[in-house]
Amino acid sequence: MKKINIYLLLLGFLLVLSCSKDKSNYDYSEKEHIDIEGIESKYTVISLKDTLKISPSAKSNKEGELEYRWGFYETNVQGRSEPLDTISRNQNLSYYITEDAKDWVVVCIVKNKKTGYTQYKNATVTVSTQFTRGWYVLKDDGNNSDLDLHLTPQNNVVNGKIENVYSTANNQKIAGKANFISFSSSYKSNVLNPSSYSNTRALFLVTEKDIQAINVNNLKKIRDKQNLFLGGPQTISGTTGAFVGSSANYILNNGQLYNIYAMSANTGQFGNKAMIDGKNSAYELSKFMISGASNDPILFDNLGGNFVTLANGSGSSMTIFSNDATNDFSTTNNNQKALFLGMKSNIYLPAPDYYYKTVGYAILQDKTDPSLKSLCTLEKNKFVLKIKKDSIGPSSKLYEASLHTLLFEDENLLYFVNNNQVYSRNLSNGFEQLQFSTAGGEQVTFIKHLKYSESGYAFNFVVIGTKIGSNYKIKMFTKNSGNLDSNPVQTLEGTGIARSLIYIAPSVSDYTYPWSY
């Protein structure tokens, strides 16, 4: 037993001795690592305005000179990373942003030139654009149209302007005089991913010669009259308009209705014109509409004297509204022509109704005796339309009115233009009152009631656009009990003739505004 213990001790001694004499090239030193500091996890920048500036510092635990390289790439909708684009080889990054609005990734790559070891550090770069917030003014010079963007970086008050922003983005103007502007957040395009179509925030610009869908993120044209319709190029007229209804996008062109059911897969092209009935009878819709994202539109057929809609934005045939038992006017064959349609309110009725009750107004003119004009209240109950008539006499300022706008879900007033002056009409008692007088040489080009709710940016304006020589002024008034304040809150100015405007912000959606000419 003693011999065994001696042998074990001797063996341990020999092992220790052999280890101390081992001269093999083993390396038990610490692995290399490079620490990169000074890079935040997320940056927010504005395209075509901001420069992304990052000043990092890096340190390795090994000797050697460090070199820097910066990459920039996007992550597509499937989550895969697109190829890296080297944007700088300097330690400090200064990169002017021109990319589209979405999330990108910037990566700092630091390499030890002596050892070859490389360390990466990423950050998310959220790119927005100047185009996603502000007042868009659709204007023309008498022949061609363009957009001005009045910026609202802090609140709804303008601070800065980008003139002719459409032609700057597309290198050309839009042919024809300006006519109509609208917005859709449910319009489909493949601008985000060429291999698939998805919802795209789009402005629709309508002139007397063209209609275009443009990407709000960069104002680049998506489609125009050449490829916006599946049936091929269309002739555009001064009665064309684009608008949103329940689950659908619509275009009215040359009295015909075209639609896209937004809840289905589509390529952003409008199909064949809808039929007015199962017999495919001839029809000619007025350019005026009463519509919003939560309700089916109310449209008027000037040819047949019919109030019509397209249920849920789907299908190929319209529905002619049924009559309420108390109607003053028939919904069908009423021998009228529409001079104006507009939405007054759109209220959801809970159980047991479960539908939106839409109230609007129409100004109708008798086709046999054009001297007969009527102001009609419209109340939509699903596919039943209640119509109450109030005659408009020649002594009324409304009788010769040219431009109209309803106060949506506000005071019960209609604003209109007569002899280049803006009046209001109380819809409850018919009282008319002068609200705005133009200065010498000033001509009213449009009026519009716009209201918007967002913390810091909310407004409720009656907007009056005017033309003086070759320049426009757009006055934005608040009101007190429906009467305009004596001075506008702000006035937008620019070159050209302003025909329409819209306020766009990141939270603006299909549900923000009602639509009417």
Mind listing the domains of the chain with CATH numbers?
34-128 (2.60.40.10), 130-318+341-360+390-504 (2.130.10)
Q: Which residues, including other chains, have CB under 8 Å from residue 229's CB and lie 6 or more apart?
A: 258, 269, 270, 271
DSSP state of 131: G
Q: Determine the pLDDT at residue 7.
A: 42
Amino acid symbol at 57: S
Maximum Cα interatomic distance, the chain, rounded to a whole number of Å: 134
Q: Which residues, including other chains, have CB under 8 Å from residue 431's CB and lie 6 or more apart?
A: 425
DSSP string, 199-268: EEEEEEEEESS-EEEEETTT--EEE-TTTSBTT------TT-EEEEETTEEEEEETTEEEEEETTS---S
Tell me how far apart the alpha carbons of residues 404 and 409 are, in angstroms, rounded to a whole number: 16
Region class of 38: left (phi > 0), else alpha (psi between -120 and 50), else beta: left
The number of C-alpha atoms within 13 Å of 421 and in the hemisphere containing its C-beta is: 12
CB distance 52 to 95 below 8 Å: yes
Amino acid symbol at 99: E
Q: Determine the pLDDT at residue 214.
A: 98
Q: Determine the pLDDT at residue 2.
A: 41
383 in helix, strand or coil?
Answer: coil
Residue in the block written with tokens 């009056």 = 464
Tell me how far apart the alpha carbons of residues 236 and 220 are, in angstroms, rounded to a whole number: 20
| Sheet-wide strand order for 421-426 | 404-406, 413-418, 421-426, 432-437
Global confidence as pTM: 0.81
Q: Determine the pLDDT at residue 92.
A: 98
Q: How would you class 411 by CB atoms within 10 Å of its CB: exposed for 0-12, middle for 13-18, buried for 19 or more? A: middle
Q: Which of 352, 348, 211, 239 minimizes the C-alpha distance to 293? A: 348
What pLDDT tens digit does each residue of the chain (517 aa) get?
444 444 434 444 434 434 444 444 444 568 999 999 999 999 988 887 889 999 999 999 999 999 999 999 987 544 445 677 899 999 999 999 888 777 899 999 999 999 999 999 999 998 878 888 999 999 999 999 999 999 998 898 999 999 999 999 999 999 999 999 999 999 999 998 888 999 999 999 999 999 999 999 889 999 999 999 999 999 999 899 999 999 999 999 999 999 999 999 999 999 999 999 989 999 999 999 999 999 999 999 999 999 999 988 888 899 999 999 999 999 999 999 999 999 999 999 999 888 899 999 999 999 999 999 999 999 999 999 999 999 999 999 999 999 999 999 999 999 999 999 999 999 999 999 999 999 889 999 999 999 999 999 999 999 999 999 999 999 999 999 999 999 999 999 999 999 999 999 989 999 999 999 8
Q: Determine the pLDDT at residue 29.
A: 65
